[in-house]
Structure 1
Amino acid sequence: MERSENKVSVVQERNKPESNYNGKDVATYRDFIRRIRDLSEYNEKLERVVADQSRELTGVITSNSKVISIIAHDLRNPFISIIGILEMIRDYFEHNQGSDIEKYIDIATESANSSLNLLDNLAAWAVSQDSDRAMHPEVIDLIEMLMDEIRIIRCSAIQKQVSLVYSIPPELSIVADEQMIKTVLRNLINNAVKYSNIGGEVKISASKENDYLEFSVQDTGIGISYEDQRKLFRKDILHSTPGTNKEKGTGLGLLLCKEFTEKHNGKIRLISEPGKGSKFIVTLPNPA
């Protein structure tokens, strides 16, 4: 009897600690599983972040490589043309004299202007890739800026007999980064001349309404199809088509126009139809 009681007692003693031990073990196990699950979810989030950043970095590298490749190729051609034309001028003077020399000079000048514009865009593009580069807002006289750009572009316009007309109120100004706004204006006017037909017209207008300044560049040229409009302003495509005089381009100019406009919290839009010309409109905040 005593043995039986002892046996029962032993069983009871064994059961009691075993029950307590199992309870702690289950709690520990559940906590361990929860931590593993949390770590797994955190790891998945990290993997998604790394994957997103890798895709973004790959896109940047691809875009930058594409831009550099295009520029290296297109920058070489104008200089080859300039050298060739200068050699022709030298040879011509050795054997002849006549009015054809003016045509050669015009071609060389056009090539030089094309190279200058490409170099300007390359420098501007390098600035746009520097996220640490701060903007330098200052008061800009739009008429003065426009006259500077027209002097550079005038030769190309004269060759195509394209009239440059502007309508800007006197003393109209804006507070903005001068180099960025110059780049926008230069590229829009260059493109307007590039896609204008012989004897066409390019009109540059500007006005201020409330706290916004709007300027536009409109041409009477060949226009842009809806399909091509969808390819503009994109880093992954850098779309460009030859001008009416077979002028080449990279597509970088319009991309810079968009980036620099947006850096000023502005917008750029396009109105165009094939055969009816194009109008690019830039709207920028300009509080009084």
Structure 2
Amino acid sequence: METGDNLEYSIKRSDYKILIVDDVMSNVLLLRILLTKEQFQVCTASNGHQCIEQAKIEKPDLILLDVMMPDISGFETATILKRDPKTKDIPIIFLTALNSPADLVKGFQVGASDFLPKPFNKEELVIRVMHQISLVAAKRLIEKQNEELKRTIEGRDKMYSVIAHDLRSPMGSVKMVLNMLSMMVSSDTLGPELASLLIQANQQTEEVFSLLDNLLKWTKTQTGRLNVVFQDFNTDEVILGVIEIFNMVAEMKHIKIKHLETSENLKIHADIDMIKTIIRNFMSNAIKFSEKDSSIEIYVAREGDFAKISVQDHGRGISDENQNKLFKVESNYTTYGTANEEGSGLGLLLCKDFAIKNGGDLLLESKEGEGSIFSLLVPIYKE
């Protein structure tokens, strides 16, 4: 983006219109001549009421407004202009012989962008006018770039959504076939090498399917197309379903998932699909960062008005420095699992977003080398 002097030199003055308002015709003519020579478009008014009407019709980029006028003063005129949504953003330079601190304060209070003292000279007039026009040009450039960025982001999100949607279905079919093969065919039948390849293929399709699912949901939530549908359900209903999904994946890595049953089978008030997505991501990460022959625990506890659903692993853990990066979009933090599983860094961002949308939050306790506990706080149903 161009700034400062560079922007000023690039301004095409004939694209900008200035409204001159003064009840003294000689002043109007002088200003018209000076600004026309500077290649600006010029329109004029001889009093405050005309100024207000002209501002709506001509839509000037700048108003040079005399303070002392017979019908309504420049200060009163500016007050009216600033109250109208159609004219409130037009910068105003007051033309005045008044120079007391009280007059200057009053002018800025009613919306002045600058003052030009009478009598004025050409050089000062052009400098002050160009300063305001440069600000207008900069604002327009920023607005244009914001619109272009918005269109770019919308296009990107649409592309992500289409890609995720179109790939998710066939990848789901591949995942299902590989899962069935893993259950039906023993390693003795395939041999160690093919069995190992099947396990790797199964893991990779699970990761890709999870990524596509997260990407589709992320783009929907970012574009406002994913609504929260609140309902009341028990925590065990969600937990047992997630365990069933991940038992096979965990077994491939010789990891045992333990549901630590407590008396806290709580009824919660939330979007069940979003809660399932959060717990699935917790479980996927726990398996990813756990070593072979270890365990993962999932359990529920009451914490005030919230149910706290926790997934605990005993794997690598996360350093304090990296914990601060996990929930920040700009950090794009991700790392490899204990079996070199890849991640996108998108899952936890989606989880955080879903937790907040459901009136809850995410918590993390982790110690490097000892493991991590990811917890979801979600409101308990109140009858």
TM-score, with normalisation over the residues of structure 2?
Answer: 0.55
* 2:69 alignment counterpart: 28
Deviates more, 1:207-216 or 1:275-284: 207-216
Residues 359 and 378 of structure 2 are in contact (CA less than 8 Å); yes or no, is this contact kept in structure 1?
yes
* 2:317 alignment counterpart: 223
* 1:99 alignment counterpart: 191
- Aligned partner of 2:363: which letter? R
Residues 265 and 300 of structure 2 are in contact (CA less than 8 Å); yes or no, is this contact kept in structure 1?
no
Deviates more, 1:123-132 or 1:259-268: 123-132
Specify which structure has the bigger relative contact order, considering alpha-carbon pairs within 8 angstroms and separated by 6 or more residues: 1
Which of 230, 234, 238 does residue 145 from structure 1 map onto? 238
Which of 319, 327, 331 does residue 233 from structure 1 map onto? 327
Deviation at 1:196, TM superposition (A): 0.7
The alpha-carbon distance between structure 1 residues 256 and 182, as it changes in their structure 2 partners (threshold 3 A), is same
Separation in 1 of the partners of 2:324 and 2:67? Answer: 61
* 1:185 alignment counterpart: 279
Separation in 2 of the partners of 1:208 and 1:166? Answer: 16
* 2:343 alignment counterpart: 249
Percent same amino acid among aligned pairs? 33
- Aligned partner of 1:28: which letter? M
Deviates more, 1:186-195 or 1:162-171: 162-171
* 1:211 alignment counterpart: 305
Deviation at 1:250, TM superposition (A): 0.1
Residues 270 and 378 of structure 2 are in contact (CA less than 8 Å); yes or no, is this contact kept in structure 1?
no
Deviation at 1:56, TM superposition (A): 11
Separation in 2 of the partners of 1:223 and 1:63? Answer: 37
Structure 1 alignment gaps of length 5 or more: 1-23, 90-95
Deviations 1:38-86 (A, max 9, x none): 37499979949x6699399569939957x949x98xx89xx7xx89xx9
Equivalenced residues, count: 253
Aligned residue for 1:140, secondary structure, equals strand
* 1:198 alignment counterpart: 292
1:58-97 aligned at under 5 Å gives the runs: 61=153, 68=160
Please list every run of at least 4 consecutive aligned residues from structure 1 whose deviation after the TM superposition is greater than 4 angstroms: 32-35, 39-46, 50-53, 55-60, 62-65
* 1:157 alignment counterpart: 250
* 1:260 alignment counterpart: 354
- Aligned-pair Cα RMSD in Å: 4.4
Structure 2 alignment gaps of length 5 or more: 1-46, 48-65, 79-90, 94-110, 115-131, 182-187
Deviations 1:209-260 (A, max 9, x none): 4421111111100011122112111122321100010000100000011000
Residues 270 and 379 of structure 2 are in contact (CA less than 8 Å); yes or no, is this contact kept in structure 1?
no
Greater fraction helix? 1
- Aligned partner of 1:61: which letter? I
TM-score, with normalisation over the residues of structure 1?
Answer: 0.71
